[in-house]
Structure 1
Amino acid sequence: MANDSCDGCGRPVTVTGGIANLWTFGEGSEGTAMTLELADGTSHLLCYPCIEALPDEGEPTAAVIERLEQVDEETSRLGVM
């Protein structure tokens, strides 16, 4: 797994895939983030709390990603503009 940081809140994340974990199975091999390609053509690595904080209505954009912030270890939220 590769280590990186969330584009939304900056918390450290792990991403599965690639040759580094080709033979890794079981607990701990699921990663803590996903790369999302947005409708505006941008792609962002987001932790699961930030993905959960994205608004349900409409398509998220890079501007929405810029507003994400970490609340604690398990939650994120959209900051005010």
Structure 2
Amino acid sequence: MAHDFYAAADALSNQSGQMSVALVVLQQKLDDAQNTKNGIETPIGRSSLIRQAGSDRARVRRGYLEKRSESLYDSSHR
């Protein structure tokens, strides 16, 4: 099955000059599935890293705001 997919992707690639985004995504998913089947650890995808960075920034900001509100509360209640 994988060989047929790559043959079709190559044919479309040669025909249009570049692979469409959908084919690239499908190819990545196929590679990930093949690597998982072979027991190879797959790298973290770019979108996962972007989501992780966003949640890290939000967590840091929440922590900063909590500390700031605590210090303002402490200074006003002395």
- Bigger helix share: 2
- Bigger strand share: 1
> For the pair shown, which has the larger CA radius of gyration, 1 or 2?
2
Q: TM-score, normalised by structure 2?
A: 0.22
Q: TM-score, normalised by structure 1?
A: 0.22
